[in-house]
Structure formats: C-alpha cells, structure tokens
A and B are shown apart, each in its own frame.
Chain A
Amino acid sequence: MTEQSVVEETHVQDPHDAGEERSLASDAWRAMRKNPLFWISAVMITVFVLMAAFPSLFTSTSPNQPVLAEARSLPGDGTWFGRDFQGYDIYARCIYGARASILVGLFTTIGTVLVGGVIGVMSGYLGGWVDSLLSRIGDVFFAIPLLLGAIIFLVSLPGFFDSNYLLIVLKVVLALVVLGWPSLARLMRSSVIQVKPNDYVQAARALGASPARVIGSHILPNALAPMIVVATINLGAYIAAEATLSFLGIGLQYPAISWGIDISSAIIGLRTTPHMLFFPGLFLSLAVLAFIMLGDAVRDALDPKSR
C-alpha cells in the first residue's frame, strides 16, 4: 500500500499555484487587480463616497445659501460652476447632492439583495408550491413598470415620510426595493437551482448537515457570484432611478439636495443657461458609470471563462 501511494503522488499541483492558496475570492481579486476598468471605477467611487460622507472636504460653500444678486451667473464668475436661478452655488449643490444618490443606491441595493436573495434561495431550495407561490408574487411586482409603480407608491405614502432627510431617502429606497427585488430573486433562484443538484450538496446531506447548514455553507457560497455582479451594476441603475424620480418631483424633495432635483429645476433654462443642467447631469452620469464599470470588472473577475 505504501509504495502504491508514492506512485500516485506524482500528480503535483500546477507550478503556478504552488504555495499560494487559491479561493474564488482571491482568484477574483487577482484578476480584478489587473483590470484598469476596476481601478478607474474604484477611484471614482471612492471620490463619490467621500463626497457623500464629508462634503465639506470639497467645498466650504453652503449649498443652501442663495446669493440672489448673482443668480444665473456663469461658471468662472466667482464660482466654479456658476449659480442657478435661486443663486445657489452649483458646485456646492453637486457635491452635496452625492449624499442622497449614494444613500439611495446603497440602501436600495442592500434591500433588494436581502429581500430578493432570501426569497430566491427559499424558492430555489424548497421548490414545489413554495417556489410557485413566491415566483408568481415576484411576477406580479415584476410586471409593474418602475416609474408608474414608484409614482403610485410614493404618492400614497403618508406625509410622515416627508418630515426629515433620512425619512425622505428611506421613502425612495422603499419604493425602489418593493419594485426591484423580483429580478434578484429570479437570479438567486436560478443559481440555487443550478447548485442544488451538485454532488457536494447531496454529500453534505448524506453526512448529516442540517438544511440551514446545507444552504449556508454549501449552496450560498457557490450561488452568490451572479448576485454580486448584478447588485453592483444595479447600484448605478438605482442612482439613476432616484434622479429620475426626483426629476419628476416625486422622489427626493426639499430639504434634500439631489442631482435629479437640480436637473429638474434647470430644465427651463436649457437654451439660455445650459450650465445649470450640465454639471448635475455630469455628476449623475459619472456616478452611474462608475458603478456599472465596477460591476463589469467584478463580472469579468468572477467568470472563470473570461480568464
């Protein structure tokens, strides 16, 4: 027996991975490090997050201090980006507007991942009538157009939600989570269904793992990758959705500062004072682009076929 086992050990692991441990996460990180797209988006996201957390790092001007005499002044006339109709400093408003966008994007993503993930895992793992029921409920929400649904949802919420900044943000987050979870639930359901028949799940059951353990340490780690990618890309999409809702006047409202609100109020001066529209529009586009690029980089890194 001993001499037999010596023979077999001639299969040594690949030389390039000798020594270093390779897990999915470390592999992904290695691939991501080499991707310029990742670094560009990471830097942009860092800047936006800093803006959201510490706007005073970027500007000492208050976004709520109008100088009516200088209203509609162009960029360069004492301010970097000029002033809007009310005489607010556009640069300061762009900086302060990041907070609402990042908060809405982040919380909506967390919310949809939690709700969609749990429901997706349940319907994928349990199958049968639970799956049918949850999937049909998902279909109902999936069928509602985002804007139409959000308008109805936001208008019908009680006035209590307009009382302070966080509640206003929460209101928009709620609307987007309620309408956004089914896509993640579907995604999670399908990857759980893909992972579930694998032998290692059967093996875990055969070796006495409880259902919670089978899901937690055998199904989830193998089914999570698509969800991470889509959630990252969605974060950018939710920022755009928030701006859209605010633009229509049903999303964030005063006293919140949002790129969408600023774009909306600048629209009447589209031909005479386009800079009022341009700068918040630019910030919004860059923020959305950054998250979508990050999502792309994560997808490339997690997809073994792309290597």
Chain B
Amino acid sequence: MTDTTTRPSASGETEYVPQDGKLLEVEDLHVEFHTADGVAKAINGVSFDLHQGESLAILGESGSGKSVTAQAIMGILDMPPAVIPGGHIRYCGQDLLTMPEEQRRKTRGPEVSMIFQDALSALNPVFPVGWQIAEMFRIHRDMNKSDALEQAVRLMERVQIPGAKDRVKAYPHQFSGGMRQRIMIAVAIALDPAVLIADEPTTALDVTVQAQIMSLLEELQEERQMGLILITHDLGVVADVADRIAVMYAGRLVEKADVHDLYASPAHPYTRGLLESIPRLDQKGQTLAAIGGLPPNLMRIPDGCAFNPRCRMAQDRCRTEVPELREVAPGRLSACHFAEEVIDA
C-alpha cells in the first residue's frame, strides 16, 4: 500500500494514479431495474473503497446485489432495463459513471478487469483459447499476431496450465473446468489491471479445484499488487484470501469488517445467521441451522431494516427505522440497531 508509483497507461492517453493508495471508491451507489412489473431496487446506497493490494470480499445470498455491484463497476449493466439514479464509482479519483463511454471502455482490461463465474460460457466457443488471450494484446496494445500469441503462452504458463505451448490452439471445450477458469484468469490479468473483480470465480468448480483457483488468485494478487474484489456466497472460500469482508443484504451493505473479526464475532444478525448455517462435522445428525424465510422481493423491500422479517432479534424499532451503517467497534461497521449486543453474544 506504500507503492503509489504511476502505473504505465496502456491506452497511452490517460494516466491513472491511485490517490492515497485508493484504487476504487464506490460512493452511495444506487441501481434500479425498470421492468414491466415495476421498479426493482437492486442496490440501495452501497459505499466502499478498495486499496492497492487489498482483497475485499463481497458476501451475500443470491439477489443481494453483489453481482449487480460488480457489473455496475465494470459498466456492463444492460441499460435499460438498469438505471443508475445516483452514486459515484471513482477509479483513481475519476468518476467512471460520468466518463465518456469510449474513455471508459479503454479502462476495461488494462485498469479494471473481471473474471466470470462460469468459464465455459465466458469463453467464446468458436475461437482457440490462445487467440482469446492474444486478442487482449492485439486490441489494447496493437501487438502483432505472433508476439501476442507468444505473450498468451507465457500467461498460460503463469496460470499453471501444463503444456501451454501445445494447448494454445485448443478450444475451450477441450479443457476441464478448472483449466478453463485458469484461462479466464489469464485473459483477465493479461493487461496487468489494477483492479480485478472475480464474480463467484469458483462456484462452478468442485471443491478441490476451488482451493487451487483461490490460491492462484491470491498468488497473482500479491505478485501484481492488484486490488481484488471477490464476490461470493461461500464463506469458506473467502476466509483465506480476503482481507476485509463486506456483507450485502437486499442491495445494502449490512456489515463491513476485517475477515478475522467477522468470523470471530459477527456484528449483524444476518452475518451471524450465515456463519451458523455452515454445516459442521461435530453437529452430525442435528438439523442444519438455516436462516428462516426468503430474501425480500426487491420490488417490495420491507420498511425499516430489510432483514427484520427474518431476524430473531427484531423489535418494533427495526420495522420502522432503517439502521445506518455505523462504526460499532474500531474498523468495524454494522447496520444493525443492536450491533453491540450481537457482537457480545
């Protein structure tokens, strides 16, 4: 985080310099989807920032808005139906949302890059993988074909694909799931981005491969001092890699804390419910502890705290008053009226 040297700009036009080590600042972001059935409020005021070399995990159930946050940062939301009525996303101090589209496009790849959940569908089935990695160098760096392909082989070796030289001309369907995700990672880090967003990078993989992919990501992140945003619903996956965790519920951040603090003593009933619902070996034969009820319909988010219908601790105040995300202990934020009690429990 002490390294604030200027990054060489691939586009050759704009230089992006992190400000006080801050790569990315998301401030009061709102995203709505205008559909025929009404307005779904997918994100309702999310703020966080990401420093150089930091990994931030965004945790939440399906529909909590974590993927939409990632897509909003990347600028790949389909608009319409999506609308961003408010908020800022600043990359090195420059607001991506007000930037001209052409300039913003040039940040994708060399500055901010993304890994998708299912690598098979995220790779183009009609082109060899080497071609797809090389494409990055050819578009953004005007490299000629053979140089770009050489770089592609080097990257494939870097993400530990055995026999990279021989497999550079193979097609995505000829690789196993884990290898495909490695290729996707190679494409995403090809231009040495400052920020890498991984949207559930291991969800489609089996458990042993998950660990390999996560440690590869961790390794690459340390090597290149990238800011990593890891989006997941799997608490087990993030424990080793993430520095900080942000928990999302119904389009809001409900808790933000260091990974150790959060695991040791969650400060929000929702986080506690998530941690308790991890199946444990020493509780064999007992009922799984699950959070009762369903995530709210985003078109009708409950008044007050969005979590109140499912919360065991909910009181009258929770049904009327939206809890602010506030500092409840040094370096810990929680959006619960009774956060102090939750931590102590």
Contacts and interface: CB of A to CB of B under 8 A. Distances in A.
A148 interface: no
B160 interface: yes
Contact of B212 (A4, A198, A207): A4
A221 B127 contact: yes
Given A5-B162, A8-B179, A207-B108, A202 B76 contact: yes
Contacts of A23: 126, 128, 171
Nearest to A13: B174
A5 B208 CA distance: 10
Nearest to B219: A1
B257 interface: no
A217 B126 CA distance: 9
A30 interface: no
Which of B110, B117, B178: most chain A CB closer than 10 A?
Answer: B178
B123 interface: yes
Interface residues of A, number: 34
B342 interface: no
Interface stretch (A83-91, A208-216, A280-288): A208-216
Nearest to A4: B212
A218 to B, nearest CB: 5
A251 B107 CA distance: 56
B215 interface: yes
Interface stretch (B13-21, B132-140, B228-236, B241-249): B132-140
A207 B109 contact: yes
Interface in B140-193: 140, 160, 162, 169-171, 174-176, 178-179, 184, 187-188
Interface string A22-49: 1110000000000000000000000000
Contacts, number: 103
Nearest to B80: A128
A9 interface: yes
A207 B136 contact: yes
Interface string A1-13: 1101111110101
Interface residues of B, number: 46
A208 B107 contact: yes
A4 B126 contact: no
B114 A1 contact: no
A278 interface: no
Contact of B176 (A8, A199, A221): A8
B121 A200 contact: yes
A1 B212 contact: yes
Contacts of A205: 74, 76, 108
B93 interface: no
Given A1-B215, A5-B212, A217-B135, A206 B74 contact: yes
Nearest to B166: A19
B114 A203 contact: yes
B216 interface: yes
Interface string B217-233: 00100000000000000
Nearest to B125: A222
A2 B157 CA distance: 12
B162 A9 contact: yes
A206 B212 contact: no
Given A1-B216, A202-B116, A206-B74, A21 B170 contact: yes
A218 B176 contact: no
A235 to B, nearest CB: 24
A77 interface: no
Contacts of B126: 23-24, 221-222
A209 B139 contact: yes
Given A206-B76, A208-B106, A4 B215 contact: yes
B118 interface: yes
Given A21-B170, A207-B109, A200 B123 contact: yes
A204 interface: yes
Contacts of A8: 176, 178-179, 208-209, 212
A256 B106 CA distance: 56
Nearest to A203: B122
Contacts of B174: 13-14, 17, 22
B121 A198 contact: yes
A17 B184 CA distance: 22
Contact of B121 (A6, A22, A199, A210): A199
B171 A11 contact: no
B127 A217 contact: yes
A208 B108 CA distance: 4
B322 interface: no
Closest 8 CB pairs of A and B: A11-B176, A208-B109, A208-B108, A199-B122, A199-B121, A206-B114, A5-B160, A203-B122
Interface of B: 74, 76, 80, 105-110, 113-114, 116-118, 121-128, 135-136, 139-140, 160, 162, 169-171, 174-176, 178-179, 184, 187-188, 208-209, 211-212, 215-216, 219
28 contacts: A1-B215, A1-B216, A1-B219, A8-B176, A8-B209, A9-B162, A11-B179, A21-B169, A21-B170, A21-B171, A24-B126, A128-B80, A199-B122, A200-B124, A200-B125, A203-B122, A204-B124, A206-B74, A206-B114, A207-B109, A207-B136, A207-B187, A208-B108, A208-B140, A209-B135, A221-B124, A222-B125, A222-B126
